[in-house]
Amino acid sequence: MRLLVTGGAGYIGSVVGALLVADGHDVTVLDDLSTGHEDAVPTGATFVQGTLREDAPRLLAGGADAVLHFAAKSLVGESMAKPSLYWESNLGGSLALLEAMRAAGTPRIVFSSTAAVYGEPEQVPIEETAPTRPTSPYGGSKVAVDTALSEYARMHGIGAMSLRYFNVAGAYPEAADAGSGAPGAADAGSGAPGAGGAGGAGAGGPVGRWLGERHSPETHLIPNVLAVARSAARGDGGHLTLFGDDYPTPDGTCVRDYIHVADLARAHLLALDACQPGQHRVYNLGSESGSSNLEVLAECRAVTGVDIPAEIGPRRPGDPAVLVASSAKIRADLGWRPERDLRAMVADAWAFTRAMAEPGRTP
């Protein structure tokens, strides 16, 4: 298929793009590099630096079978400080994209939604039928895009999928022969056995490079814990602060549902194939099991072998105690299930962290 991947120079878009290239698709990445990195664009994809508003219409007019839409601003705190930026960028950008799809007759779209649409849940695990009560403009803008997708499906016959990601983690080892069209290049690694990562040189062959999380600022727990691990290992000091240990959870720290980026990416390929004209479907993507902040810290200590210094700070306003997905719907409809556990996520993220810090190092 000819595919447009918006945000394909970012964390998740680059990994999904790499899987799509390995699966034999013709991939064009559209990314304005506002938070992405040109060197993360999947090998074998065509890269266009540009925006949804200005460049998507021209690219889609050239003919495309589907759009995978990752491009967005995604910092909850920033969205509280600058709500209009989020409405303009996430909703406005997505509406421009949908109009370009309508004009060009592009039939399908897979959209990156988020657990943030649910806000403070009444029940866990959270099902897709739970009320959407976002507590930030970030979550609000994603709900608004979902509404627009339903409308474009109903009014214009577009086939749409919204995938509501929970906490995405881990890294993906692009195969050394990526982009060559070699069969079996996809899904080269992970399931990383044992501590220290480097799961990538697994069944799929040697690793070319790692694609992983490089946000600035980084707000996600695992890369932040691993950054402290690296700094502690070098004797550079620093420590981790966990926000609150008085939540109604078994160890008092917040519980989140982590999903490996490679498992998440696989779900996109299934969703792409399952798009039906005129239908908008919504699926949660999580592992259906929660890990507390202290459990994540313990896993990071085990994988890195570093006694990562950490302290407990006050709660952060607006953090729900427990966020865990029900992924029963996507299991039943698309046959997807997560294959990699928290150990694999941390091991692969650690391999990526070290590969970034020491270019040329063999994973």
Stretch that binds ligand NAD, among 8-16, 154-162, 301-309, 342-350 (CB under 6 A): 8-16
Decide: residue 237, CB within 10 A, 0-12 exposed, 13-18 middle, 19+ buried: exposed
Separation in Å, CA 175 to CA 85, 128, 162, 169, 206:
37, 34, 28, 19, 6
Antiparallel, parallel or unpaired: β 322-323 and 207-211? unpaired
- Min dist. Cβ of residue 214 to ligand NAD (A): 7
Of 5, 18, 20, 32, which one interacts with ligand NAD (CB under 6 A)?
A: 32
How many residues lie near ligand NAD (CB under 6 A)? 28
Active-site hit among 11, 118, 138, 152: 138
The continuous run of DSSP H or E covering 286 comes out as none
* Among positions 106, 114, 136, 253, the unique one binding ligand NAD when judged by CB under 6 A: 114
Q: Measured between alpha carbons, how far is 224 from 303 in angstroms, rounded to an integer?
A: 15
The answer to whether 338 contacts ligand NAD (rule: CB under 6 A) is no
Tokens for 49?
């630096």
Task: Report the site for ligand NAD in 74-103 (rule: CB under 6 A).
Answer: 74, 89, 93
DSSP state of 116: G
Binding letters toward ligand NAD, positions 167-196, x by CB under 6 A: xx----------------------------
Least Å from the CB of residue 256 to ligand NAD: 10
The answer to whether 138 is a known catalytic residue is yes
28 sits near ligand NAD (criterion: CB under 6 A): no
Q: Is 109 left (phi over 0), alpha (psi -120 to 50) or beta?
A: beta
CA distance 187 to 345: 14
Minimum distance from residue 4 beta carbon to ligand NAD (Å): 11
Just list the catalytic residues: 138
Binding site residues, ligand NAD, CB under 6 A:
6-7, 9-13, 30-36, 51-52, 70-72, 74, 89, 93, 112, 114, 165, 167-168, 215
